[in-house]
Structure 1
Amino acid sequence: MKKIYIIRHCEAEGQAAETKLTDRGRNQAADLSKFFANKKVDRIISSPYKRAIHSIQPLANQLNIEIEIDGQLTERVLSTKNFPDWFEKLKTTYDDLELKYEGGESSQEAMKRIIEVVEKVFNSENENTVIVTHGNIMSLLLTYYVKDFGFEGWRNLSNPDVFLLRNVDKKVTYERVWG
């Protein structure tokens, strides 16, 4: 049975790619490392954003595993415009997966990116993989497997958050193992 731990990064100072973790976020990264202390991990893949890499670096150091960077795990861009009602706009993209705002990516496009990463991992030799990404794209992945995860699932994610995906007989299930 193949396992993938999908992790939402720890608490960060902001949303930009170069944003660092807060002091609390650095403590959370240490807690993540402890959480995985008794779990088998063969591979770690991360979004290139600093907050994602820094969230898993303590575990990578502890296990002496190199972090693989994958640009398909970056956070979804809703739009290049600043929307005062971004929360409602985001909610709408869960109802209409093809909806796309100016300069942004539809839910379907973002979902496709992360599904490709997960499917490659499930088809690889590795049994236990950690993938570190961001809240919106993570919620879209979980929505792909269980349709009712959606917007409310995204709203209920924590920083960090960890879900375990299992692939048994080509059926993917997940459970929240953090929070």
Structure 2
Amino acid sequence: MQTNLYFVRHAHSTYTPDEFGRPLSAQGIADANRVTELLLREDIDVVVSSPYKRAVQTVQGIADFLGNEILIEMDLRERRIATNDVDDFAQAMKQLWTNPFFSFAGGESNHAAQHRGVSATRNILKKYQGDNVVIGTHGNLMVLIMNHFRGTYDFAFWQQLTMPDIYKLSFCGHHFVDAKRIWGKL
């Protein structure tokens, strides 16, 4: 029985220091509408999301269309880089990807974030076997999850993601079958 997980990286957001409450920008809202249009073609059964507002807003349209509530999964939240802002975000990300067990003070290593995200993904696969599930999440965590199933999804892959972006991961039971990008097919 095949299960399809549609990982949706959130659309562009307006920066605020409030990670949980950061909303989509005007462009992000327009792109979230395109996400809904695209996902309407995919026979979606369930919508799950990170608790962060920007992730929820990006998948809200498909949930509304289905008449479903978004199921919040705390472990789909973005990884925390550090307690305080880092001086050079790109360099910090490169360092984290170079050493999966390294973390900045108060932050989460790639290994820890990946473990959390993969555990959440496996729980979703178990609970919604045979369904098409939309997962509203974040770029870094999404790539860490994908990397677990296929090592070619790495730092360079993360760098080329767009906001939003959508990847369909197909599974037979808990066994990864394939991944393909579906964003941009309108």
TM over 0.5: yes
Count matched residues. 179
| Stretch of structure 1 that moved more, 17-26 or 117-126 | 117-126
- 1:137 corresponds in structure 2 to 141
- What one-letter code is carried by the residue in structure 2 that aligns with 1:97? P
Give, in whole Å, the separation in 2 of the partners of 1:67 and 1:159: 20
Question: Does 2:167 correspond to 1:163?
Answer: yes
| 1:171 Cα deviation after fit | 2.8
Q: Gaps spanning 5+ residues in structure 1: where? A: none
What root-mean-square deviation, in Å, do the aligned CA atoms of Structure 1 and Structure 2 show? 1.4
| 1:86 Cα deviation after fit | 2.6
3-state SS of the aligned residue for 1:38? Answer: helix
Q: 1:125 to 1:45 in 2, by over 3 A?
A: closer
- What one-letter code is carried by the residue in structure 2 that aligns with 1:9? H
- What one-letter code is carried by the residue in structure 1 that aligns with 2:182? V
* TM-score (norm. length: structure 2): 0.91
Q: Gaps spanning 5+ residues in structure 2: where? A: none
- 1:96 corresponds in structure 2 to 99
- 1:76 corresponds in structure 2 to 79
- 2:43 corresponds in structure 1 to 40
Give, in whole Å, the separation in 1 of the partners of 2:41 and 2:92: 41
**1:25-82 Cα deviation digits (max 9, x unpaired):** 1111111111011211111111111111111111111111110011111110111132
* TM-score (norm. length: structure 1): 0.94
| 1:142 Cα deviation after fit | 1.3
**1:143-170 Cα deviation digits (max 9, x unpaired):** 1112121111111111110001111264
- 2:157 corresponds in structure 1 to 153
Give, in whole Å, the separation in 1 of the partners of 2:67 and 2:121: 22
- What one-letter code is carried by the residue in structure 1 that aligns with 2:175? K
Aligned equivalent of 2:90, options 81, 84, 87: 87
Runs of 4+ in 1 over 2 A off after TM superposition: 168-171
3-state SS of the aligned residue for 1:14? Answer: coil
Give, in whole Å, the separation in 2 of the partners of 1:86 and 1:78: 9
